[in-house]
Structure 1
């Protein structure tokens, strides 16, 4: 028995909540009766303590291993064990056994084969226990006992409750006076208790803002940082990680962020990220600790571009203070200068750099001028991050570095202009220089080299990555678009041709990627599946609202032909076809050319002839429904978590590659949506004009021989009137068809892919559709507000009903008291009345005594008469016996003794 208890204790300490104990192999059919019998033994207090403790140990073993035993435990088990805790709290072994058994009954058991039962006994038991708030209060009160074992198992039980019924336990803890204070005191206890208290507080503060505020008020920040320092900071063990998880929970509350910023400060947090040198080694636990610290940094910085607008003030304040405390230096050391850390650690540091500078003018300027390294090998930080982006072997690291440039360029026109101004082509000889020479290049030269490096080795991956950076530089910045448009590259072989614009080179690489996808194997296709969409993203961004770029694109007729083939290609992804359709649309939407061979009408005519307007508009619609565009609605923070699972060897589907999910940010998605709406309107407008403004002169217009001038003029007038009428009819039908086409493609019906809808819809359908969408959104908002109001009303109604019930109970109690009072008053009145009616008691007593005395005298007289008569008889008989010669004295001897014994006994009794 002692050996079994020892195993339980050791495993509990080693494994935390639950432990692992080898119990009896009882079948499901016997579990119910077996558990019931154990509970009966525990319940009998007349039993020896050893037998009851043994029953507790057996109960703990069986409920830890058997789901059916947990189900049989139920309400009876909770009642019995809570009774032990309540009534026998001085019995350490009994309380310890009850706590262990309860913890096992509340811990879910993993099912074999991963099959989950519909009924979760552990959840049911937890719900039963939490149903009474007094139970939580009773368990929590055990922490006041100065007993290590009881405190340890109490913390484990509360943690088990929080894992299954967090909301109820959180509510119950809030109602317990000094409940959270008691838990906070455990952090200063011995190590084992402290560690369990840390774990408990981590669960307790999860998504509970009120508890978070109370915990911080109780001095959580100072205690957490003290523990981290005592454990060795980032070099510490899992306790440091638990502290950082708890700190993360607490800082989800904005008021706690302000308190930390204005009191303790961010220095203790930043000190965790400090590395001793650039070649520091990283253990697995150290990496976990650093990742937890970076998660807190990301939380303080508000999530960058995906941050909520209401948090801007706190975000900017945190950015300012963290930058002043040299956080950027530590992040650059982790993410850029030290390449020995794990990939996810470097990526997390890069993302934090992006969050630190996003939308903060001073931080952006300081970051732009930041220099890394030591003389003479110094390099701008932006150049170093660009090198990582272009050379990283992991797509995950590429995405993280790209995120830095997105945060740097978004809403930073000065920064975009700074980067664009450095895009000066290098001589052809420099393009073949080794990568080590990059340190001597400007940012723009390195970027151009990345865009064109595929010319020599055929690797379009580097070109794709550079294109993503360039798209950030060009986004919503006409000046940058103009600068980059003027960039011309030397031909691979100078003698073979003149320099060509950068745009034409990029389109050539786009066409090359189509060939590689067509000819490549499955592994290569999976890796390159995001290359075409990323290059198309650059071109779409470049041509948006920039007619000069459209003109440059259409200079070469094969560009338009290639896009038409790409839109119609069945082997490419929906995303690629949709972006190609958007790019085609920009060719007529922003086309200001007056040349008849390049104007907007010609592009629309070509689309109509080669693709068909119906199919073209369907490509736009499919793009909006693609996984890449719908997933961006989740927000950048949710998408970035998926990057951790990127594997270049994975056979991702075309439109589901995590790289696309992260690179197609909200800013670009909004741009595409606006372009789609403009394209639909532009198609209607262009189709309403003449398709061909050059009209050949019909033979009928020539003057016939013998026809005088008057007749000729009349005939010309009739011909012109007829042509005008026909032309107006054609224009009307053309406009009507275009409008019907736009409306028809908005439908999800399968028939829209094969034929146009017959008949005319209302011209204002598009406007009504927009109004309907806005109304639907408003309805959703109202529904959510209504739901919230209903919840509040329900809560108030429940509170009112409870108050009404309490008031009724008080009223009933007052009525009962009034009735009891009235009854007592009536009894008092009756007693008083009865007392008045009765005679004097003393008189009655005297009369009774007198009557008794008289009766006694009469009885005494009668007795004396009888005695006299008997005495006379004795004397007469004595004289007669003497006459007969008898000795009267001898005859009477002994007669008196028989009569005296009862009298003596009576006397003795009276004495007693």
Structure 2
């Protein structure tokens, strides 16, 4: 499917979409409003499709039928719609593409991820063509800059697009490899460096491994700062080699120029692609149209911001938070142990950030010294390995120092534990000796006690029998004495009764009659007393 721009497909019939949208926010918004939020990769009839649907169909034509040319030219049109318009960027960012085979993966994928995938396929194709001279050359050499131009325009001042781009971890790895790929050309390498720089300066994510500090460190380690900034210098030199009329005084793309580019014969495109690879003085006409004055100014502005942003990252700690004195004070109800632990964690975190900062500064200083100290820069492989080796050696040195400190601490702790163990062992021996002495003394006391109890028992039994016998004899004697006294008393009373009876008889009283009932009253009184 070719992206043919007809008067019926644009809101105003006089210009192509580029002329309608360029420096016209309302026109950009109007064109973006025609873009659907979802699109299927399945082929559809495009006769009655609105402009937005037609544009998306052209973008996905690379995957649906392998038409990379139409895809990249549609990406060029989309770049004009998104340029300097955050609202359009956010809207197009929500577009999702349906997969042809849902069983093999996600059913929907953001359009931005599709653009990255297409650029990867085209860059792979370019590398294979350069590595194998027998393969036919096509127009892939300028198609990749077209897609990268779209990414540069889309990511500018759009943190949400940066977050979407860095969503899959493989995207960062791909761009780091792409910027070092000499086979894709100076333009593609330079624009890839701009894309990576935008992932640094417009990165607002806080996720570990994908924040701006992590991206800058990855660039330093995988590419090297000197090699990375060299891409900007080479791109700027190539911009300067362009004819001044093509980007300093060029007019916006109209339908005539755009259509002429689209309708070029295939043999002319292949010739231009070969010319671009071999002869830099004869620029491809498509390249001249891609890098107009406004885009060159945008890249120049982004380069300045990227250099300043990277330098700022390599000169500040990650947190960039000024610690207030109140944050170091003990909180209400916080235990002393927890307070000391919190302060220790804070100090350790600051030390780690300072170590990272020193490592980044050392890497940056080495890269800058290498760049400024030699008339001819070393090859890219040496520069890439220099940054990685420097960071790796610094990391290993820090790990070695930390391991040494831990070993020393463990040795001191081990010595203390050995001393404590020796003290405890001597104390245990002393306690064991004391316990043995106490056990012997207890056994001796136990034996003495048993002996004394035996002696007491042997002495106590005869005395007890003797005392019982004496008590029995004493009680018997007391009983006999009481009985004798009682008998004497009874005898005396009997004699008194006899004398009284004789006297009463002499007086003529009937003694028996008088004594009648006296004994019975006494017996009854005794019985009453017993009852009570």
TM-score between both structures, scaled by the size of structure 1: 0.34
Report the counterpart of residue 680 of structure 1 in structure 2: 307
2:179 to 564, 567, 589: 567
Deviation at 1:491, TM superposition (A): 0.7
Residue 276 of structure 2 corresponds to residue 653 of structure 1 = yes
Report the counterpart of residue 466 of structure 2 in structure 1: none
Report the counterpart of residue 244 of structure 2 in structure 1: 633
Q: Is the 8 A contact 1:451 1:462 kept in 2?
A: yes
Give matches, 1:421-432, under 5 Å.
Answer: 421-424=33-36, 428=40, 431-432=42-43
Residue 213 of structure 2 corresponds to residue 601 of structure 1 = yes
Deviation at 1:717, TM superposition (A): 9.2
Q: Is the 8 A contact 1:684 1:735 kept in 2?
A: no
Report the counterpart of residue 518 of structure 1 in structure 2: 127
Q: Is the 8 A contact 1:488 1:500 kept in 2?
A: yes
Deviation at 1:428, TM superposition (A): 3.4
Structure 2 CA distance, aligned partners of 1:675 and 1:616? 14
Residue 150 of structure 2 corresponds to residue 527 of structure 1 = no
TM-score between both structures, scaled by the size of structure 2: 0.56
Q: Is the 8 A contact 1:410 1:472 kept in 2?
A: yes
SS in 2 for 1:571: helix
Structure 1 CA distance, aligned partners of 2:352 and 2:54? 60
Residue 168 of structure 2 corresponds to residue 556 of structure 1 = yes
Q: Is the 8 A contact 1:551 1:593 kept in 2?
A: yes
SS in 2 for 1:680: helix
Aligned-CA RMSD value:
4.2
Report the counterpart of residue 885 of structure 1 in structure 2: none
- Structure 1 residues 733 and 509, CA, compared in 2 at 3 Å: closer, same or farther? closer
Larger radius of gyration: 2
Instruction: Identify the structure with bigger relative contact order (alpha carbons < 8 Å, sequence gap 6+).
Output: 2
- Structure 1 residues 714 and 639, CA, compared in 2 at 3 Å: closer, same or farther? closer
Structure 1 CA distance, aligned partners of 2:357 and 2:147? 38
Structure 2 CA distance, aligned partners of 1:677 and 1:421? 33
Report the counterpart of residue 375 of structure 2 in structure 1: 749
Structure 1 CA distance, aligned partners of 2:342 and 2:108? 54
Which sections of structure 1, spanning at least 5 residues, go unmatched?
1-335, 338-349, 351-370, 373-378, 386-400, 694-708, 757-912
Give matches, 1:137-536, under 5 Å.
Answer: 379-381=8-10, 404-424=16-36, 428=40, 431-433=42-44, 437-496=45-104, 497-520=106-129, 524-536=136-148
Deviation at 1:685, TM superposition (A): 1.2
Which sections of structure 2, spanning at least 5 residues, go unmatched?
252-256, 321-334, 387-532
Structure 2 CA distance, aligned partners of 1:726 and 1:380? 58
Give matches, 1:605-616, under 5 Å.
Answer: 605-616=217-228
Q: Deviations over 1:592-621 (max 9, x none)?
A: 001112111111111111111111111111
- Structure 1 residues 539 and 724, CA, compared in 2 at 3 Å: closer, same or farther? closer
Q: Deviations over 1:44-99 (max 9, x none)?
A: xxxxxxxxxxxxxxxxxxxxxxxxxxxxxxxxxxxxxxxxxxxxxxxxxxxxxxxx
SS in 2 for 1:750: coil
Report the counterpart of residue 289 of structure 2 in structure 1: 662
- Structure 1 residues 411 and 423, CA, compared in 2 at 3 Å: closer, same or farther? same
Q: Is the 8 A contact 2:39 2:56 kept in 1?
A: no
- Structure 1 residues 634 and 736, CA, compared in 2 at 3 Å: closer, same or farther? farther
Deviation at 1:623, TM superposition (A): 1.1
Structure 2 CA distance, aligned partners of 1:740 and 1:671? 30
Alignment length, in residue pairs?
346
2:235 to 623, 631, 636: 623
Structure 2 CA distance, aligned partners of 1:457 and 1:610? 35
Structure 2 CA distance, aligned partners of 1:561 and 1:735? 23
SS in 1 for 2:99: coil
Q: Deviations over 1:704-741 (max 9, x none)?
A: xxxxx999x99999999899789758746744763775
Structure 2 CA distance, aligned partners of 1:720 and 1:441? 60
